[in-house]
Amino acid sequence: MAVIPRDKPTNREIKASLLLADRVVEKQGALFIREFLRKAASKDKEIRIGATKRDVVQNLNNAINQGRIQLDALRQWVLEVEGWGKQHVYLYHVSEQLTKALWLKSEKALEIKLVKACLKKYLNKRDELNFSEQLELGHIGLNNDGFQCVWRQGTTHRKRDDTKDERRKIDGDSYEFDAFRIQPMRAVMRFELRPKERIAALFLQRPMTQHEEAKVKVKAILFKLFNQTELTEANIGNAIRILDQQDMDNTNSLYKSKQVKFHRQGASIEFIASPGLGGWKDVQKVRDVRKALDPNAFSGENAHFKVQLTGTGGMQREVVMALSARDHRMYFFAQMKADEIWTTLKTISAHTK
């Protein structure tokens, strides 16, 4: 028989856990919640998983109320799933000098660094439920992989709900009212720097029109800690060219080209398939044209790839990723986990030098 954790959570901690779980459940599919419960159930056999999202959410809440899943575990889950996927990513290479900085390896050294930069109040700040109307810095800290800054913002979204529509008579006239449910929305922006791999990335869940404004906020914080010359933008065009060529050469490639565009000296050539077609490489004559193209004579301009994810715990699936060389930017179209994102970024980074 499974044992409930020795330190039973207080009612306040249970309430905070339920609020945190509810927030993540709003945005995550049953697949992610089931995987979290599956991991928890591997240590506590009394935890149930469930098939439908309704059952899964109920089992999650039950485990929290029973003290079998506690706040620290939920916070770690938030770090893994919130703000990952369905986002834009800007990838950078990190100088060797910066990777050797002591404050990237020691929390005490980081604290000293943040004190000098007047940023100490953000060190290891864990206020996951605080989302202001403006984009604000919420957390700075170190984890097992490196350095992280997190910004948060809360907004609202109107979702149509025809079950709440009404028809009324007012002053003898008939009126129809279309109902919309006001949903709280939370956007997370984060910057992570991984010294071991010498790469860093800025993750944005914001419209393109707001990117420059967001970057200004990020640089205002980061460049208090290190010189801007320590980061260089990754060559996304090179990654486009290499990944597409690998797909041409290897039918088992994990990156399948849906669309790719090359350019040189103001001219371009694009390979793309109609929506009903599996991919442009399925048409042999078009494939032959691509074979005749020397990729080393061109630069990649933009592309869409189907990425085969090979995670554990039932997470094997396919997602779509867009790359833009002009903007030095990527976009992931699906909700993902942190390890899935970083596995993909490491592959892209290796082809961007």
The secondary structure of the chain, three-state, reads CCCCCCCCCCHHHHHHHHHHHHHHHHHCCHHHHHHHHHHHHCCCCCCCCCCCHHHHHHHHHHHHHCCCCCHHHHHHHHHHHCCCEEEEEEEEEECHHHHCCHHHCCHHHHHHHHHHCCCHHHECCCCCCCCCCCCEEEEEEECCCCEEEEEEEEEEEEEECHHHCEEEEECCEEEEECCEEEEEEEEEEEEEEECCCCEEEEEECCCHHHHHHHHHHHHHHHCCCCCHHHEEECCHHHHHHHHHHHHHHCCCCCEEEEEEEEEECCEEEEEECCCCCCCHHHCHHHHHHHHHCCHHHCEEEEEEEEEEECCCCCCCEEEEEEEECCCCEEEEEEECCHHHHHHHHHHHHHCCC
What pLDDT sits at residue 341?
92
Inter-CA distances, 125 with 78, 121, 232, 272, Å = 14, 7, 28, 46
Q: Among 62, 81, 100, where does a domain finish?
A: 81
What mean pLDDT do residues 287-316 have?
Answer: 85
pLDDT tops 60 at residue 314 = no
HSE at residue 270, side-chain half, CA atoms within 13 A, is 11
pLDDT tops 90 at residue 52 = no
Q: Among 233, 260, 290, where does a domain finish?
A: 233
Structural domain includes residue 182: yes
Shared domain check, 95 and 63: no
Shared domain check, 32 and 97: no
Structural domain includes residue 325: yes
Shared domain check, 280 and 178: no
Shared domain check, 264 and 210: no
Structural domain includes residue 3: no
Query: How does residue 131 score in pLDDT terms, banded at 50, 70 and 90?
Result: low
The more confidently predicted of residues 20 and 171 is 171
What mean pLDDT do residues 90-111 have?
Answer: 96
Q: Among 53, 81, 109, where does a domain finish?
A: 81
pTM: 0.76
What mean pLDDT do residues 264-280 have?
Answer: 88
pLDDT tops 90 at residue 290 = yes
Structural domain includes residue 203: yes
Structural domain includes residue 100: yes
% of the chain residues with pLDDT over 70: 89
Shared domain check, 74 and 124: no
Structural domain includes residue 1: no
| Mean pLDDT score across all residues of the chain | 87
What mean pLDDT do residues 43-57 have?
Answer: 87
The range of the structural domain enclosing residue 198 comes to 85-233
Total domains in the chain come to: 3
> pLDDT tens across 143-157, in order?
889 999 988 876 666
